[in-house]
Amino acid sequence: MSASAILGIIFLFLPFALVFALYRLWKERGQRRALETRFKGVIDADAEVQSLGKQASELRQEIEKIRADYASKRATYNQLAKEVAIFDEKLAFAEMGIYEPHFDFTG
């Protein structure tokens, strides 16, 4: 094979190789853009870690606040349940026909 034939073959396949390389470049850019839009909010990993840590801290504080609020409301509920139990006991006696005297006839 002569040098001109080899040179002709190279020039024949060079446009195909160039088109293939441009196609691959275009495809890779599309994939990169898709990933960039998908992870647009996560640019800096350290900033994201710090942001998530702050959110976790806020959620922990909110949980502690809710637990304290629940404990105080539970105490109020228990107190009210005891007070209602007294009336429930009086109602049970009344259903059996035992009544507390409401009037004082001594005088």
Q: Is residue 101 within 8 Å of residue 94, measured between CB atoms? A: no
The domain total for the chain is 2
**Looking at the domain assignment, is residue 7 inside a domain?**
yes
> pTM of the predicted model, to two decimals?
0.44
Q: Is residue 93 within 8 Å of residue 99, measured between CB atoms? A: yes
Q: How confident is the model at residue 40 (pLDDT cuts 50, 70, 90)?
A: confident
The reply to whether 30 and 63 lie within a common domain is no
What is 53-83 written as a DSSP string?
HHHHHHHHHHHHHHHHHHHHHHHHHHHHHHH
The pLDDT, as a whole number, for residue 47 is 81
DSSP conformational letter for 2: -
Q: What is the pLDDT of residues 42-88, one digit of tens each?
A: 667 778 888 899 999 999 999 999 999 999 999 999 999 888 877 77
Range of the domain at 12: 1-40
Q: What is the pLDDT of residues 24-38, one digit of tens each?
A: 999 999 999 998 888
To 5 degrees, how large is the angle CA 74–CA 78–CA 83?
145
At a CB cut-off of 8 Å and minimum separation 6, what does 99 contact? 93
Q: How confident is the model at residue 94 (pLDDT cuts 50, 70, 90)?
A: low
